[in-house]
Amino acid sequence: QKEVEQDPGPLSVPEGAIVSLNCTYSNSAFQYFMWYRQYSRKGPELLMYTYSSGNKEDGRFTAQVDKSSKYISLFIRDSQPSDSATYLCAMGGSEKLVFGKGTKLTVNP
Amino acid sequence: GAVVSQHPSWVICKSGTSVKIECRSLDFQATTMFWYRQFPKQSLMLMATSNEGSKATYEQGVEKDKFLINHASLTLSTLTVTSAHPEDSSFYICSARELAGDSYNEQFFGPGTRLTVL
């Protein structure tokens, strides 16, 4: 079993839709959970970061962590064409990060 | 926000040559830098962790004699792909972190370097 599993998609939604992205993990030692957005041929940029179970909201983005189920989610409300990118979950301790494969999202106008 | 640059952004080289990629933290001092490799439609795979002034720690399966990492200053790390072959063609991304320790410190990613070996 891989440490981090993420459905690569692709996922295509109409503009304005709510998008749900998910990752599961197997290592209970992971303490920090991140979501990165990566545009084609660019480096990842951090969207959301959390270190505890529960929800964290930032504008149109909500990150959820359920440590008991080893499951994390990213919700995007009122999705925009500019949200079209690959979204990678990442998690780890104080040192290394382990990344999911990324989910390619396309928001159609 | 913190900015990390990489140079070059893309490089094409002949098989058997060596290629050096630079990673710089522009507005902060990076005690730790990470080097990742990303193949098409794949995740970022950590290659090595580099702390300023000490030898890099390589992940299992990464040849340290092939991928030479130098982190000589708090703002610069270099990755040299020695005797590159077509299978080394990939997107190489560095990230930099300001502080080490028990608490999480965000990794800031560079824009990546696309290497194509002919």
| Residue count of chain A | 109
Contact B117, A52 (CB under 8 A): no
Q: What is the pLDDT of residue B113?
A: 97
**Strand spans (E) along B1-118:** 4-7, 10-13, 19-25, 32-38, 44-51, 57-58, 67-73, 76-81, 90-97, 108-109, 113-117
Contact A47, A39 (CB under 8 A): no
Verify whether the Cβ–Cβ distance B93 to A96 is below 8 Å. Answer: no
**What is the tens place of the pLDDT at every residue in B78-89?**
999 999 999 999
Contact B33, B95 (CB under 8 A): yes
Q: What is the pLDDT of residue A1?
A: 66
**pLDDT by residue, tens only, chain A of 109 residues:** 678 999 888 999 999 999 999 999 999 989 899 999 999 888 999 999 888 888 999 999 999 999 999 999 999 999 999 999 999 999 988 778 899 999 999 999 9
**Region of poorest pLDDT, from A22-36, B41-55, B64-78, B90-104:** B90-104
Contact B38, B22 (CB under 8 A): no
SS3 A10: coil
Q: Is the pLDDT of residue B1 over 80?
A: no
Q: What is the pLDDT of residue A65?
A: 95
Which of chain A's residues have a Cβ under 8 Å away from the Cβ of B1? none
Residue B42 contacts A where some CB pair is shorter than 8 Å: yes
| Spatial separation of the C-alpha atoms in residues A33 and B88, rounded to whole Å | 30
Q: What is the pLDDT of residue B51?
A: 87
Burial class (CB in 10 A: 0-12, 13-18, 19+), B106: middle
Q: What is the pLDDT of residue A59?
A: 95
Q: What is the pLDDT of residue A53?
A: 84
SS3 A82: helix
Residue B104 contacts A where some CB pair is shorter than 8 Å: yes
Verify whether the Cβ–Cβ distance A8 to B41 is below 8 Å. Answer: yes
Which of chain B's residues have a Cβ under 8 Å away from the Cβ of A100? 43
- Give whole-number Cα distances, A57 to A62, B67, B96, in Å: 4, 40, 26
Which among A4, A43, A88 has CB closest to B110? A43
Which of chain B's residues have a Cβ under 8 Å away from the Cβ of A44? 44, 93, 109
Percent with pLDDT over 90 in chain B: 70
**What is the H or E stretch that residue B118 is in?**
none
Q: Is the pLDDT of residue B44 over 70?
A: yes
- Segment B70-77 shows an average pLDDT of 90
Q: Is the pLDDT of residue B115 over 80?
A: yes
Q: Is the pLDDT of residue B100 over 60?
A: no
Best B107, B114, B116 member to test A by mutation, with max A CBs in 10 Å, is B107
Q: What is the pLDDT of residue A51?
A: 83
A46 to chain B, closest Cα gap in Å:
8
Verify whether the Cβ–Cβ distance A96 to B46 is below 8 Å. Answer: yes
